[in-house]
Protein backbone atom coordinates (compact mmCIF):
# COMPACT_ATOMS: atom_id res chain seq x y z
CA UNK A 1 0.00 0.00 0.00
CA UNK A 2 1.50 3.31 -1.09
CA UNK A 3 0.33 6.14 1.10
CA UNK A 4 1.21 9.62 2.28
CA UNK A 5 -0.05 12.24 4.73
CA UNK A 6 -2.98 13.03 2.39
CA UNK A 7 -4.60 9.75 3.47
CA UNK A 8 -4.43 10.32 7.22
CA UNK A 9 -3.51 13.92 8.10
CA UNK A 10 -5.13 16.01 5.38
CA UNK A 11 -8.27 13.86 5.15
CA UNK A 12 -10.18 11.83 7.73
CA UNK A 13 -8.81 8.28 7.98
CA UNK A 14 -11.06 5.29 8.59
CA UNK A 15 -11.81 4.90 12.33
CA UNK A 16 -9.80 1.67 12.42
CA UNK A 17 -6.56 1.51 14.45
CA UNK A 18 -4.99 -1.10 12.18
CA UNK A 19 -5.63 0.92 9.01
CA UNK A 20 -4.34 4.11 10.63
CA UNK A 21 -1.17 2.28 11.72
CA UNK A 22 -0.67 0.96 8.20
CA UNK A 23 -1.14 4.37 6.57
CA UNK A 24 1.03 6.32 9.00
CA UNK A 25 3.84 3.77 9.24
CA UNK A 26 3.99 3.36 5.44
CA UNK A 27 4.21 7.16 5.08
CA UNK A 28 7.09 7.24 7.56
CA UNK A 29 8.94 4.37 5.93
CA UNK A 30 8.51 6.02 2.50
CA UNK A 31 10.26 9.06 4.02
CA UNK A 32 13.14 6.76 5.08
CA UNK A 33 12.22 6.71 8.78
CA UNK A 34 12.64 2.93 8.72
CA UNK A 35 13.42 2.43 12.40
CA UNK A 36 10.15 4.06 13.48
CA UNK A 37 7.04 2.00 14.16
CA UNK A 38 3.98 3.44 15.86
CA UNK A 39 0.90 1.81 17.39
CA UNK A 40 -2.44 3.60 17.24
CA UNK A 41 -3.89 4.25 20.69
CA UNK A 42 -6.76 6.51 19.57
CA UNK A 43 -8.57 5.92 16.28
CA UNK A 44 -10.65 9.08 16.60
CA UNK A 45 -9.76 12.75 16.78
CA UNK A 46 -7.43 13.66 18.23
CA UNK A 47 -5.68 10.64 16.73
CA UNK A 48 -2.77 9.35 18.81
CA UNK A 49 0.08 6.91 18.20
CA UNK A 50 3.01 5.79 20.35
CA UNK A 51 6.20 3.88 19.62
CA UNK A 52 9.97 4.08 19.60
CA UNK A 53 12.63 5.47 17.32
CA UNK A 54 16.20 4.30 17.87
CA UNK A 55 15.14 2.91 21.25
CA UNK A 56 13.64 6.20 22.43
CA UNK A 57 9.92 6.78 23.07
CA UNK A 58 7.93 8.79 20.54
CA UNK A 59 4.32 9.98 20.62
CA UNK A 60 2.35 11.70 17.88
CA UNK A 61 -1.11 13.23 17.95
CA UNK A 62 -3.10 15.09 15.31
CA UNK A 63 -6.36 16.73 14.37
CA UNK A 64 -7.08 16.19 10.69
CA UNK A 65 -6.01 19.12 8.55
CA UNK A 66 -5.21 21.35 11.53
CA UNK A 67 -2.37 20.40 13.87
CA UNK A 68 0.21 17.64 14.25
CA UNK A 69 2.18 17.21 17.50
CA UNK A 70 5.37 15.22 18.14
CA UNK A 71 6.47 14.46 21.73
CA UNK A 72 9.86 12.99 22.62
CA UNK A 73 11.90 12.76 25.79
CA UNK A 74 14.90 14.42 24.20
CA UNK A 75 15.59 16.77 21.30
CA UNK A 76 15.44 14.80 18.02
CA UNK A 77 16.07 17.19 15.11
CA UNK A 78 16.41 14.37 12.53
CA UNK A 79 13.02 12.98 13.47
CA UNK A 80 11.52 16.47 13.41
CA UNK A 81 12.89 17.00 9.88
CA UNK A 82 11.45 13.64 8.83
CA UNK A 83 7.97 14.59 10.02
CA UNK A 84 8.28 17.96 8.27
CA UNK A 85 8.91 16.08 5.02
CA UNK A 86 6.03 13.66 5.59
CA UNK A 87 3.60 16.48 6.40
CA UNK A 88 4.92 18.89 3.79
CA UNK A 89 5.07 21.69 6.39
CA UNK A 90 8.59 23.03 6.70
CA UNK A 91 9.74 24.08 9.19
CA UNK A 92 7.47 23.16 12.11
CA UNK A 93 5.40 25.98 13.59
CA UNK A 94 6.53 25.90 17.25
CA UNK A 95 8.60 23.81 19.65
CA UNK A 96 9.01 23.89 23.42
CA UNK A 97 9.56 21.76 26.51
CA UNK A 98 6.50 20.99 28.59
CA UNK A 99 6.32 20.89 32.41
CA UNK A 100 7.30 17.19 32.38
CA UNK A 101 10.46 17.96 30.39
CA UNK A 102 9.19 16.40 27.15
CA UNK A 103 10.24 18.05 23.88
CA UNK A 104 7.12 19.03 21.95
CA UNK A 105 7.02 20.10 18.31
CA UNK A 106 3.81 21.30 16.66
CA UNK A 107 2.99 21.78 12.98
CA UNK A 108 -0.02 23.96 12.13
CA UNK A 109 -1.53 24.02 8.66
CA UNK A 110 -2.41 27.69 9.18
CA UNK A 111 1.17 28.53 10.26
CA UNK A 112 0.55 28.55 14.00
CA UNK A 113 0.60 32.31 14.64
CA UNK A 114 -2.22 32.07 17.19
CA UNK A 115 -0.48 29.19 18.97
CA UNK A 116 2.80 31.11 19.09
CA UNK A 117 1.06 34.06 20.74
CA UNK A 118 -0.70 31.68 23.16
CA UNK A 119 2.49 30.11 24.51
CA UNK A 120 4.41 33.38 24.93
CA UNK A 121 5.13 34.15 28.57
CA UNK A 122 3.48 30.96 29.87
CA UNK A 123 5.72 29.14 32.38
CA UNK A 124 4.43 25.72 31.31
CA UNK A 125 5.98 26.24 27.85
CA UNK A 126 9.73 26.25 28.49
CA UNK A 127 12.28 27.28 25.85
CA UNK A 128 9.71 28.15 23.14
CA UNK A 129 11.05 28.35 19.59
CA UNK A 130 9.32 29.71 16.53
CA UNK A 131 9.89 27.71 13.34
CA UNK A 132 12.64 25.41 14.70
CA UNK A 133 14.73 23.57 12.15
- DSSP calls for 33-89: -TTEEEEEEESSSSEEEEEEETTEEEEEEEETTTEEEEEESS--HHHHHHHHHHHT-
Q: What is the pLDDT of residue 2?
A: 67
CA 15 to chain centre: 19
The DSSP output letter for 6 is G
pTM score, whole prediction: 0.94
User: What is the rounded distance in angstroms from the CA atom of residue 48 to the CA atom of residue 32?
Assistant: 21
In tens, the pLDDT along 66-90 reads: 999 999 999 999 999 999 999 999 9
User: What is the rounded distance in angstroms from the CA atom of residue 133 to the CA atom of residue 118?
Assistant: 21
Q: What is the pLDDT of residue 133?
A: 72
Amino acid sequence: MSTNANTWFYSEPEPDAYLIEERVNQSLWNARLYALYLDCTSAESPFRMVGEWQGRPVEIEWEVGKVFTLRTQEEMPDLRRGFSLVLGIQPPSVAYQDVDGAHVTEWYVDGGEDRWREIQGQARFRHPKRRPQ
